[in-house]
Structure 1
Amino acid sequence: MSQSSILLTRIDNRLIHGQVGVTWVNHLGANLVVVANDKVSEDEVQQNLMDMVLPDTIQSRYFSLQKTADIIHKASPRQKIFLVVKDVHDALTLKEGGVPIDHLNIGNMHYEEGKSQISSTVSVNEKDIESFKRLGELKVKLDLRRVPNEKGQNILDLI
């Protein structure tokens, strides 16, 4: 697989929803959305609900993190992949597992107890910050932006 088969990797704890399934897919010209998440890879109900958001012309795959790392290199050049993960830790696991992620879009990380809100859609805790810094050390461009036409920010400038 050439690195260009992965058009973009996005952190969005909602995984596939309207913004991902329509706005980002159309902007990128993706024809395949790969969700890399251990829980969702085994939850057909959640997969079916997410598939309802995608246009009929867009395929989806739901893989565990390990399976994603094992098979992403076998993708056909015809597959224009939009890779979606639930959190920064999954992104780091994939990167350290050999998945060619050079650009990471941080779209949505919900607020919860113990997290600090750094933008309208992203909240982080110390463990998240450590993972983002590690990704930065691995030369991954870290771009916080909700939608394609929004001006992005390097998340390392905000944490």
Structure 2
Amino acid sequence: MAGPNILLTRIDNRLVHGQVGVTWAGSLGANLVLVANDAAAADPVQQNLMDMVVSDGVQTRYFTLQKTIDVIHKAAAHQKILLVCKTPQDVLTLVKGGVPIHAVNVGNMHFAEGKRQIHKTVSVDDADVQAFRELAALKVVCEIRRVPDESGDLVSKLL
């Protein structure tokens, strides 16, 4: 096998919710939603809540960033993976760890103290900007798009 069949990598600070577990997974034909997030990997309550919004026939896995780096290349050929991360820093960690990510869908990054809004659903702080710039330097295209049928905006043009 050439590598894991990652259909889409998405940044969403909510991780898995209806838009991800139903709309994106269905649109892509994903049969596995892999959440790469250290906190979610250790929180069975959060995992159960996320499992409730995933379409029938779609499996879920909750791995730490390091476990994702360690096992993603062992994914079976039939696994069509929707990879979900919470932050651009998480994606950068995966890319630097050898996970073959070439494009990122940025769905939702809530506004919070110290962040500035660059799009309707995306707010960033200096650490986020730095991570996006590093991803761009690594030739990873980051595009803001909430749902599959919406046109996207390149993050690099909004920073």
Same-fold call, TM cutoff 0.5: yes
CA contact under 8 A between 1:2 and 1:77: conserved in structure 2? no
Percent of counterpart pairs with the same letter? 60
CA shift for structure 1 position 56: 2.1
The count of residues paired between Structure 1 and Structure 2 equals: 159
Deviation track 1:2-33 (CA, whole Å, cap 9, x = no partner) reads: 34600010000000001001110011100000
Q: Which amino acid aligns with 1:80?
A: K
* 1:120 paired residue number: 120
* 1:38 paired residue number: 38
* 1:102 paired residue number: 102
Task: Structure 1: give runs of 5+ residues left out of the alignment.
Answer: none
Helix, strand or coil at the partner of 2:23: helix
Q: Which amino acid aligns with 2:79?
A: Q
* 1:66 paired residue number: 66
Q: Distance in 1 between the 2:139 and 2:29 partners? A: 25
* 2:134 paired residue number: 134
* 1:79 paired residue number: 79
Q: Which amino acid aligns with 2:148?
A: P
CA shift for structure 1 position 153: 1.0
CA shift for structure 1 position 155: 0.3
Q: TM-score, normalised by structure 1?
A: 0.98
Q: TM-score, normalised by structure 2?
A: 0.98
1:12 matched to 2:12:
yes
Q: Distance in 1 between the 2:65 and 2:57 partners? A: 25
Task: Structure 2: give runs of 5+ residues left out of the alignment.
Answer: none
Q: Distance in 2 between the 1:4 and 1:144 partners? A: 23
Q: Distance in 1 between the 2:92 and 2:108 partners? A: 16
CA shift for structure 1 position 79: 0.1
Q: Distance in 2 between the 1:104 and 1:21 partners? A: 17
Compute the RMSD of aligned alpha carbons.
0.9
Match runs of 1:45-60 below 5 Å: 45-60=45-60
